[in-house]
């Protein structure tokens, strides 16, 4: 079961945690190590527990897609269509609270890992150093997402209840600014990247343990290097326009991109960073994706995305979407400018006139129990490179990286479809080289390049990584979407952030007061300067 206790300063749930203990199911596959079966407190098993704590934020789950994403990020970037409703742009309390709770449950697990690791003899810490470095990379990936949702959050002092010996009064955590958290993470990731290049060879026992407990890269240190540097690339790009980070971002981006033998990146789909599903019967699975995406018509295709893909002859279209039952093979997206009644009629159709509205391809997405939890993909990295080269005046390199990102994205979705055991929809033929080249030609290059890059990021992220999509849409102000609003709506524009959840406000009120003035839906994050 999920740990659902409020963090009470972001960490009360750590009070009795030594691993994930009884909070996990007993059905873990032998390919994993069930933290619920751990009889001893050890750093390697605590490491696996961190990944396990965040699994439903990574691998598609009912809870994440239906409770959190359906009415927030998927809507804000029109990755999906929906029947308009009153106050539809206000993030719901359940969405924000559940996402917050899960992050801080994972943070508490991370603090427990730190506690166990730090208490080890120096020689053992040295041997197990790879677990510490890898844990930080993954934890910082999750942290960036939460900071990009809320801005200032309890962090450096959060999750310390166990470390503080159960002292509740001293465990209420102050808020760190979003800028300070980014700085701390970037400092650490830079140091980790350097250290990974000089890390001594693992002993046989540590190597075996790392392969067993590493649910992300299966013990491949080269992939952890690529994860670290690709995450740095994402974070540095995210803050590059903020005045307090511009100089640093420019320098470190140049260092990474100009020295890829030292700072390797994820550049091909073979090196994508993800949590794979090896056994759909284990606790790491995508079984809940079906109800999460299909319930309440949460898998409806939006008109803006469909029209873009159709007009450009996008080869990904039949892998990402399937035509409506009554559309005779045509791809038609739901128009968000229509009234709710009009949209509901189009979505529902009738027995005599079935709905013509396209939906996300069920065999690729919602009924694919082996859908991987994507963290960093080659396409995203290539688009980040394209943006950097474009900004620094290297047009040839920018164009090359941009086109490589498209090719990697086009290759990814058939590969994901091939993982599926479901045949609700017949698998489309593999895109041909001619189709790919035609698509690239249809997109063009040379004018409005940043908008071209932003659009491809949006298409690539679609419903898979909507939080990254929303962050990039906010940062680049593109694509631009139109939303129908009503006179009675309290929030008439897409939020710039999420509010701090109510239970945090109530339980950690003294510290919350320091950030209360910023806690408004329209207050932009520090990196959102366009």
Q: Is the pLDDT of residue 9 over 70?
A: no
Give CA separation, 8 vs 91, 108, 121, 181, in Å.
22, 11, 32, 20
Q: Are residues 297 and 204 in the same domain?
A: no
The residue among 338, 347, 346 whose CA lies nearest residue 294 is 347
What pLDDT sits at residue 3? 24
Distance CA 219, CA 209 (A): 8
Q: Are residues 386 and 461 in the same domain?
A: yes
What pLDDT sits at residue 170? 66
What pLDDT sits at residue 438? 98
Q: Are residues 186 and 301 in the same domain?
A: no
Distance CA 459, CA 302 (A): 12
Q: Are residues 62 and 156 in the same domain?
A: yes
Asked if the bond preceding 479 is cis, omega within 30° of 0, the reply is: yes
Q: Is the pLDDT of residue 46 over 60?
A: yes
Average pLDDT of the chain, as a whole number: 92
* pTM of the full structure: 0.92
Q: Are residues 247 and 295 in the same domain?
A: no
16 confidence band (pLDDT: 50, 70, 90): very low
What pLDDT sits at residue 79? 98
What pLDDT sits at residue 23? 31
Q: Are residues 301 and 259 in the same domain?
A: no
Question: Which ranges of 334-394 does DSSP label H, i.e. alpha helix?
Answer: 340-348, 378-391
Q: Is the pLDDT of residue 171 over 90?
A: no
Q: Is the pLDDT of residue 228 over 70?
A: yes
CATH number at residue 200: 1.25.40.390
Helix (H, G, I), strand (E, B) or coil at 63: helix
- Per residue in 365-390, pLDDT (tens digit) is 999 999 999 999 999 999 999 999 99
- Per residue in 507-520, pLDDT (tens digit) is 999 999 999 999 99
41 confidence band (pLDDT: 50, 70, 90): confident
Q: Are residues 34 and 107 in the same domain?
A: yes
User: Which of 456, 476, 496 is the last residue before a domain boundary?
Assistant: 476
Q: Is residue 239 part of a domain?
A: yes
Q: Are residues 453 and 359 in the same domain?
A: yes
Q: Token pair for residue 372? A: 């991987």
Distance CA 300, CA 481 (A): 17
Comparing 151-160, 396-405, 450-459, 460-469, the range with the smallest average pLDDT is 151-160
| Sequential DSSP letters for 200-236 | PPPPHHHHHHHHHH-TTTTT-HHHHHHHHHHHHHHHH
Going 358 to 363 to 365 to 367, the CA torsion angle's sign is positive
- Per residue in 490-512, pLDDT (tens digit) is 999 999 999 999 999 999 999 99
Per-residue pLDDT, averaged over 213-237, amounts to: 98
Q: Are residues 297 and 251 in the same domain?
A: no
The tally of domains found in the chain comes to 2
The residue among 436, 396, 399, 430 whose CA lies nearest residue 416 is 430
What pLDDT sits at residue 33? 39
Distance CA 495, CA 73 (A): 10
- pLDDT above 90 as % of the chain: 89
Q: Is the pLDDT of residue 154 over 80?
A: yes
The residue among 378, 386, 133 whose CA lies nearest residue 265 is 378
Per-residue pLDDT, averaged over 386-413, amounts to: 98
161 confidence band (pLDDT: 50, 70, 90): confident
Q: Is residue 513 part of a domain?
A: no
Range of the domain at 322: 289-476
Q: Is the pLDDT of residue 1 over 50?
A: no
C-alpha triplet 196, 202, 206: angle, nearest 5°: 120
Q: Is residue 511 part of a domain?
A: no
Q: Are residues 102 and 189 in the same domain?
A: yes
Q: Are residues 308 and 240 in the same domain?
A: no
Q: Is the pLDDT of residue 160 over 90?
A: no
């Amino acid at each position: 079961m999920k740990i659902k206790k409020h963090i009470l300063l972001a960490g009360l749930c750590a009070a009795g945690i030594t691993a994930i203990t009884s909070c996990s199911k007993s059905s873990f596959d032998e390919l994993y190590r069930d933290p619920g079966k751990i009889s001893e407190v050890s750093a390697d098993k605590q490491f696996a527990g961190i990944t396990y704590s965040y699994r439903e934020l990574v691998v598609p789950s009912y809870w994440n897609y239906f409770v959190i994403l359906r009415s927030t990020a998927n809507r804000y970037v029109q990755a999906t269509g929906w029947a308009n409703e009153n106050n539809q742009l206000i993030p719901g309390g359940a969405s924000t609270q559940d996402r917050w709770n899960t992050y801080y449950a994972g943070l508490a697990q991370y603090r427990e890992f730190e506690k166990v690791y730090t208490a080890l003899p120096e020689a053992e810490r040295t041997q197990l150093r790879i677990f510490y470095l890898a844990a930080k990379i993954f934890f910082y990936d999750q942290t960036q997402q939460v900071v990009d949702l809320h801005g200032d959050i309890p962090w450096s002092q959060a999750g310390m209840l166990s470390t503080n010996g159960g002292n509740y009064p001293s465990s209420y955590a102050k808020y760190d600014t979003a800028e300070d958290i980014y700085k701390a993470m970037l400092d650490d990731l830079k140091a980790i990247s350097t250290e990974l290049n000089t890390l001594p060879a693992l002993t046989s026992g540590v190597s075996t343990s790392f392969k067993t407990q590493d649910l992300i890269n299966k013990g491949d240190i080269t992939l952890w290097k690529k994860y670290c540097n690709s995450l740095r690339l994402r974070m540095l790009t995210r803050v590059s326009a903020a005045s307090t980070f511009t100089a640093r971002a420019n320098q470190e981006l140049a260092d990474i991109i100009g020295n890829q033998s030292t700072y390797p990146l994820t550049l091909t789909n073979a090196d994508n960073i993800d949590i794979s599903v090896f056994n759909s019967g284990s606790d790491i699975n995508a079984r809940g994706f079906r109800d999460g995406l299909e319930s309440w018509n949460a898998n409806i295709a939006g008109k803006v995305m469909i029209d873009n893909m159709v007009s450009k002859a996008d080869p990904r279209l039949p892998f990402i979407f399937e035509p409506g039952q009554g559309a005779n093979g045509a791809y038609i997206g739901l128009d968000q400018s229509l009234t709710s009644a009009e949209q509901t009629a189009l979505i529902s159709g009738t027995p005599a006139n079935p709905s013509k509205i396209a939906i996300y391809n069920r065999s690729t997405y919602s009924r694919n129990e082996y859908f991987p939890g994507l963290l960093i993909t080659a396409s995203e990295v290539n688009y980040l490179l394209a943006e950097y080269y474009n900004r620094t005046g290297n047009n040839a390199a920018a164009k090359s990286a941009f086109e490589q990102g498209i090719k990697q994205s086009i290759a990814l979705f058939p590969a994901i479809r091939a993982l599926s055991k479901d045949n609700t929809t017949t698998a489309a033929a593999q895109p041909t080289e001619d189709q790919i080249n035609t698509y690239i030609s249809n997109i063009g290059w040379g004018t409005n390049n940043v908008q071209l890059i932003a659009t491809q990021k949006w298409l690539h992220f679609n419903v898979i990584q909507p939080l990254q999509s929303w962050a990039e849409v906010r940062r680049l102000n593109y694509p631009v979407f139109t939303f129908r609003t009503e006179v009675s709506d309290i929030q008439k524009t897409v939020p710039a952030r999420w509010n701090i959840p109510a239970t945090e406000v109530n339980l950690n009120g003294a510290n919350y007061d320091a950030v209360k003035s910023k806690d408004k839906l329209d207050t932009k994050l520090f990196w959102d300067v366009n």
